[in-house]
Chain A
Amino acid sequence: MKSLSQKRRHPLAVVALLVMGLLLTGALYSVASSANKAKADTGFSAADVTAGQKLFVANCATCHGMGAQGSPAAPSLVGVGAAAVDFQVGTGRMPMAANGPQAEQKPAQFNDTQTRQLAAYVASLGAGPSLPDPAMTDGQGDATHGGELFRVNCAMCHNAAAAGGALTRGKFAPPLAGVTAQHIYEAMETGPQNMPVFSDANISPEGKRDIITYLQTIEKQGSPGGAELGGLGPVSEGLFMWVAGLGVIIAFTIWLTSRTS
């Protein structure tokens, strides 16, 4: 130790100290950022991320930019999380076919593995909502509580029977029948397009599970009244009554006033 203390005035001592300081900072940063990363993309391997990056550069970077930092044509994807990618790509909304009022659902362009790799890459860019816990999308929650949450938070846009509805200037809230539980959960968590975000602080994961259970229940058991006519309320029911109801009345009127042969 004596030799070390004697060398403290050596001209290279400052350089050595700087190198040591940089090494320490770098080590601490890599520990911290790997902790961050582990939180951001649980379950994704480095190979997933690499494969996802290749897919991203080939298919998404035209609009979202090479590093997913966004462009005038498309938003940045840093921090949107794996859930957003799984929803947008898994339902076929991304890649977008054309610019319009909103990206519409269409047959998915990527298979499950590719979707997962893309999600892994985007999740590696920054912490965001991760893929939902399968226990929260099993549809085994409380349908009654889910129905109450649905009527307060969702029914104004998606319709009380989850049949969807119109928004402003060509946008619309899609019907929810046939949407997988995982996609419903991800939509609530990430707020795709014009849908507001319903984070875990707003509707807890258990609440989301209840909503999914409610949606699956009403989809399975159907309407108590017979023909639903799309569940659209007065529009389809009124149309039916104007056409079929008035048609029957006119037919009876003709019969009443005709002469018997």
Chain B
Amino acid sequence: MGNPSDGAPQHGGTVATAGQAGGVFEDPGIPPHRLRLSDTDPKAAKRAERQVTALFIISVIGTVVFLVSYFAIDLGPTSTVDTIRTQNILLGLSTAFAMLGIGTGIVHWAKSLMPDHEVSEARHAVRNEDDRQAAVKIVDDIIEETGIKRRPLIRNTLIGALALAPLPALAVFGDLGPNATDILRHTMWAPNAQTGKKVRLTRDPDGTPIRAADVTIGSAFHVIPEGLNDLKENRNNEKAKAVVLLMRLNPEDLHISPGRETWSYNGIVAYSKICTHVGCPVALYEQQTHHLLCPCHQSTFDLTHECQVIFGPASRPLPQLPIEVDSDGYLVATSDFHEPVGPSYWEREYS
């Protein structure tokens, strides 16, 4: 088989000749052309033409149905879910038929009516060894002519300049966005800085305060800080940090570690609802096993052991909110969380 780089047209089939002297594969060539039904029978060709036309008409009908159902179905104030469902189904089906009609029509047209003669295309020629060595020589010549090996001062200063050049970019990137440390460290649970007034625990979504007596054993309350519903801006961001789950257990079931003795009230405990894995709301409370389950990745926290992780990918217990009862009998937070809530972030361990 001659030199593959001579550019002469080749029929495929032989891949390599090295080491196969005398054992060359026979080029099987192109199989004989097989005529289609529509090539020989004019009736079949006519039938295929009609089929393609029908598919295109189906597409047209689909488009018309889409426009009609979009504009003619009234979704005014009197519409019901039934109306919405009807429109959704019509829009989906008509779009499908509009697109599929064009696509299948074109493919059917190409397969049955357009010419289908086989074409053989030659493989691109592979470059020969001389060309490769010539390229290597050009690179070597350039290195030689720049004299970079003979003039180390130039080389070293160039390396230094290249190493320093990205620094301005780093400095600019450092200023992108505020440092998240402080925002994530504080929530609405912190007592008022001026008056020292402690924040009441209120029901989500109504915002009504909760008495300790309301929290019967086995209860689970979904809690937001007092005043959250009055926020004009950033309400959702504040809520995402401050949501708390409030539960009451038999006090003897709780295993309280030193330093947290005053954080609960007669078996009532409050924990952040934000999972320490990636921040899903952990709110699946099982009142007999006292497990808290995160629905996203099945992290399971043991409420009786201060929400230690007993299963799943979370790496830290849920932060506990220290609570007490104020003079009116309502539950209040004595302080903010003692650690940032939610998943890990870069500056979490450094304050």
Contact = CB atoms under 8 A, between A and B. Distances in A.
Given A156-B283, A195-B287, A196-B218, A260 B112 contact: yes
Given A156-B281, A224-B84, A226-B92, A202 B300 contact: no
A256 B36 CA distance: 16
A226 B89 contact: yes
Contacts of B215: 201-202
A222 B293 contact: no
Contact of A193 (B81, B247, B288): B288
B311 interface: yes
A168 B293 contact: yes
A153 B81 CA distance: 24
Nearest to B80: A221
Given A148-B205, A201-B211, A156 B218 contact: no
B219 interface: yes
A114 interface: no
A226 B85 contact: yes
A261 B85 CA distance: 42
Contact of A156 (B84, B204, B214, B284): B284
A168 B289 contact: yes
Contacts of B204: 152
A78 interface: no
Given A221-B82, A225-B85, A226-B85, A197 B295 contact: no
A226 B80 CA distance: 14
B291 A196 contact: no
A110 interface: no
Interface in A191-207: 191, 193-199, 201-202
Contacts of A148: 205
A167 B85 contact: no
Given A152-B222, A193-B288, A221-B81, A168 B214 contact: no
Contact of B214 (A169, A202, A221, A223): A202
B206 to A, nearest CB: 8
Interface in B96-112: 107, 111-112
A194 B288 contact: yes
Contacts of B262: none
Contacts of B89: 226
Interface string B259-303: 000000000000000000000010111111101010100101000
Contacts of A176: none
Pick the most buried of A156, A157, A223: most chain B CB atoms within 10 A of its CB: A156
A201 B216 CA distance: 9
A174 interface: no
Interface string A139-175: 0000000001100110011000000010111010100
Contacts of A152: 204-205, 222
A156 B284 CA distance: 6
B15 interface: no
A198 B281 contact: no
Given A224-B88, A260-B36, A202 B219 contact: yes
Interface in B179-235: 203-205, 211, 213-222
Given A149-B205, A198-B219, A202-B221, A167 B286 contact: yes
B37 interface: yes
Interface string A221-251: 1111110000000000000000000000000
A199 B81 contact: no
A169 B302 CA distance: 14
Given A167-B286, A201-B211, A261-B37, A225 B218 contact: no
A199 B82 contact: no
B276 to A, nearest CB: 17
Given A196-B218, A198-B219, A202-B221, A171 B286 contact: yes
A202 B222 CA distance: 9
A201 B213 contact: yes
Contacts of A256: 107
Interface string B68-99: 00000000000011101100110010000000
B308 to A, nearest CB: 14
Nearest to A260: B111
B138 to A, nearest CB: 45
Given A168-B291, A221-B80, A196 B300 contact: no
B216 A167 contact: no
Contacts of B295: 156, 165
Nearest to B286: A194
Pick the most buried of A168, A171, A223: most chain B CB atoms within 10 A of its CB: A168
Contacts of A171: 286
A233 to B, nearest CB: 10
Nearest to B111: A260
Given A153-B222, A194-B289, 4 more contacts: A173-B284, A196-B247, A198-B219, A202-B203
Interface of B: 34, 36-38, 80-82, 84-85, 88-89, 92, 107, 111-112, 116, 203-205, 211, 213-222, 247, 281, 283-289, 291, 293, 295, 298, 300, 311
29 contacts: A148-B205, A149-B205, A156-B295, A168-B286, A168-B298, A169-B289, A171-B286, A191-B219, A194-B286, A194-B287, A196-B219, A196-B220, A197-B217, A197-B219, A197-B287, A199-B216, A201-B214, A202-B203, A202-B214, A221-B81, A222-B81, A222-B85, A223-B85, A224-B81, A224-B84, A259-B34, A260-B36, A260-B38, A260-B112
